[in-house]
């Protein structure tokens, strides 16, 4: 069945191996299935829910777009654009914020995590962030949304908003309730320093993550220093249950090599970490270095990236503004 795919990534700094394995690799796979139509958005309006440096933001928007393209997203086949170039996202977000209920937003765990202890000081934008995300998705009638596990609750909210809008305005099936597409395996890549914490852009330690633009030496060094335990590598999946670092590193290997965790375990069982780490570092270099080189090449031609984003925005705007017009008609404007 053909799917309408929409997904977004925030331009808030270097993309890392977690973003690649958990999200972008899957974006490419979905794009390469001919039946799907895909829209991939650099969600810059989401980025400003926390303070950004304007110069860095501009650069990060280009870097995220470059990472998309370098990873294999094809701007001729998929629509690639940044959110702030299409006004319907902001407009849709306001309208949908009148549909969403406070009680629904109060349940969002990501807000609680991101706002931290002092919620009074969080921006209102951070609080209503999931409504903007719902607008992103619903404006394009997306049927499927590839995201990491952490975004599942926001997808549920998008479904609730779509259903309530349709019910309130007696317009069945007008807004499409989207399905999340969450990878069964390797949907959470963990920090290299702590196998119980997610690999994240916001971790202050550079050694916790592999960035998509790390060079070979950096990759080797980070994998060499990655936390492990003292046992040799296990013989079975069960033995991994209390060994988060071993599970994480084996999972990275399996995912990058497109093989199952079990066959990876079989390949390395009984070996010590240093031999495995060598192989893992080489595999990461093999898969990531071409992407990193391409990102750097693309970033040298900013006009080219800006053109891709504005061409993508024009295509996106055609779809989104039509939907907004219909939304307004339904509402009575
Ligand atoms: P973000 O960097 O939070 O904008 O996330 C962009 C996409 O990458 C989302 O679909 C996330 O769920 C996914 N993602 C972020 N960090 C990880 C991680 N450590 N492991 C797997 N997926 C991730
Ligand atoms: N909130 C998502 C994240 O932090 C990014 C995002 C914004 C998104 N709009 C979206 C993802 C629409 C999927 C669909 O990862």
Residue ranges of the alpha helices (H) in the chain?
A: 17-19, 25-31, 44-47, 54-71, 88-97, 102-106, 109-115, 124-138, 152-168, 216-225, 244-256, 261-268, 273-299, 302-331
Which residues, in sequence order, are CB contacts of 184 under 8 Å at separation 6+?
A: none
Please give the DSSP secondary-structure letter assigned to residue 207: G
pLDDT at 1 over 80: no
% of the chain beyond a pLDDT of 70: 100
Mean pLDDT of 78-95: 98
Q: Which atom of ligand 1 is nearest to the CA of 19?
A: 8
Query: Dihedral of the CA atoms 231, 235, 236, 241 (nearest 10)?
Result: 0
Contact 137, 8 (CB under 8 A): no
pLDDT of residue 6: 98
pLDDT at 188 over 90: no
Coil, helix or strand for 234? coil
- Distance in Å from the first CA to the final CA of the chain: 36
Which residues, in sequence order, are CB contacts of 325 under 8 Å at separation 6+?
A: none
Which residues, in sequence order, are CB contacts of 30 under 8 Å at separation 6+?
A: 3, 5, 36, 38, 144, 146, 181
pLDDT of residue 14: 81
Phi, psi (degrees; rounded to nearest 5) at 121? -95, -5
Q: Which atom of ligand 1 is nearest to the CA of 7?
A: 10
Residue showing tokens 């060079």: 215
Q: How far does residue 7's CA lie from ligand 2's centre (Å)? A: 6
- Which has the closest alpha carbon to 207: 296, 56, 199, 246? 199
Residue-wise pLDDT for 7-50, tens only, equals 999 998 889 999 999 889 999 999 998 789 999 999 999 999 99
Of 57-61, 167-171, 237-241, 312-316, least confident by mean pLDDT is: 237-241
pLDDT tier at 2, thresholds 50, 70, 90: confident
Distance CA 253, CA 182 (A): 19
Q: Which ligand is nearest to the CA of 155?
A: 2
Q: How far does residue 292's CA lie from ligand 2's centre (Å)? A: 23
Residue-wise pLDDT for 221-265, tens only, equals 999 999 999 999 999 999 998 999 999 999 999 999 999 999 999
Coil, helix or strand for 257? coil
Whose C-alpha lies nearest to ligand 2, atom 6? 8
Residue showing tokens 């259903």: 163
Distance CA 38, CA 5 (A): 5
pLDDT tier at 76, thresholds 50, 70, 90: very high
pLDDT of residue 176: 98
Q: Among 4, 6, 7, 132, say which to mutate for ligand 2: greatest number of ligand atoms within 8 Å of CB.
A: 7
Q: Please classify residue 22 by burial: count the beta carbons closer than 10 Å to its beta carbon, then call 0-12 exposed, 13-18 middle and 19+ buried.
A: buried
Of 10-14, 95-99, 166-170, least confident by mean pLDDT is: 10-14
Q: Among 18, 67, 68, 251, say which to mutate for ligand 1: greatest number of ligand atoms within 8 Å of CB.
A: 18
Strands in 144-146's sheet, in edge-to-edge order, are 79-82, 37-42, 4-9, 144-146, 179-181
Structure-token pair, residue 158: 């998008």
CATH topology of domain 3-188+301-331: Rossmann fold (3.40.50)
pLDDT at 207 over 90: yes
Distance CA 34, CA 83 (A): 25
Q: How far does residue 198's CA lie from ligand 1's centre (Å)? A: 9
- CB-side exposure of 268: number of CA atoms within 13 Å? 27
Whose C-alpha lies nearest to ligand 1, atom 17? 18
Q: Which atom of ligand 1 is nearest to the CA of 189?
A: 20
Q: How far does residue 330's CA lie from ligand 2's centre (Å)? A: 26
What value does the CA radius of gyration of the chain take, rounded to a whole number of Å? 21
- Homologous superfamily, domain 206-297: Tyrosyl-Transfer RNA Synthetase (1.10.240.10)
Q: Among 41, 83, 150, 200, say which to mutate for ligand 1: greatest number of ligand atoms within 8 Å of CB.
A: 150
Task: Enumerate the active-site residues.
Answer: 114, 198, 201
Q: Is 226 left (phi over 0), alpha (psi -120 to 50) or beta?
A: beta
Domains 3-188+301-331 and 206-297 are alike in CATH topology: no
pLDDT at 270 over 90: yes
Query: What residue ranges do the domains of the chain occupy?
Result: 3-188+301-331, 206-297
């Amino acid at each position: 069945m053909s799917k309408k795919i929409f997904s977004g990534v925030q331009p808030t700094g270097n993309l890392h191996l977690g973003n690649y394995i958990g999200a972008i690799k899957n974006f490419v796979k979905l794009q390469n299935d001919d039946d799907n139509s895909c829209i991939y958005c650099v969600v810059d309006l989401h980025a400003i829910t926390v303070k950004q440096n304007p110069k860095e933001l501009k650069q990060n928007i280009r870097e995220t777009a470059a990472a998309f393209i370098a990873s294999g997203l094809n701007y001729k086949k998929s629509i690639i654009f940044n959110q702030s170039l299409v006004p319907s996202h902001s407009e849709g977000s306001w309208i949908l914020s009148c549909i969403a209920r406070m009680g629904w937003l109060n349940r969002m765990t990501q807000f609680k995590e991101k706002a931290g202890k002092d919620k009074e000081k969080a921006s209102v934008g951070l609080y209503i962030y999931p409504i903007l995300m719902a607008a992103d998705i619903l404006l394009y009638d997306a049927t499927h949304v590839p995201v990491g596990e952490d975004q599942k609750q926001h997808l549920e909210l998008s479904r609730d908003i779509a259903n309530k809008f349709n019910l309130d305005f007696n317009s069945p099936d007008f807004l499409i309730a989207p399905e999340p597409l969450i990878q069964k395996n390797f949907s959470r890549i963990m920090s290299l320093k702590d196998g119980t914490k997610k690999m994240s852009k916001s971790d202050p330690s550079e050694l916790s993550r592999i960035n998509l633009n790390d060079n070979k030496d950096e990759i080797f060094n980070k994998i060499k220093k990655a936390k492990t335990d003292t046992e040799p590598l296990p013989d079975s999946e069960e033995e991994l249950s209390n060994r988060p670092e071993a599970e994480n590193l084996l999972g990275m290997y399996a995912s990058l090599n497109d093989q199952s965790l079990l066959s990876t375990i079989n390949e390395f069982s009984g070996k010590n970490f240093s031999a495995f780490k060598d192989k893992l570092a080489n595999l990461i270099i093999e898969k990531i270095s071409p992407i990193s080189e391409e990102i750097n090449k693309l970033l040298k031609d900013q006009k080219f990236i800006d053109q891709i984003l504005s061409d993508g925005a024009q295509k996106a705007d055609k779809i989104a503004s039509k939907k907004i017009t219909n939304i307004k008609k339904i509402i009575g404007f």
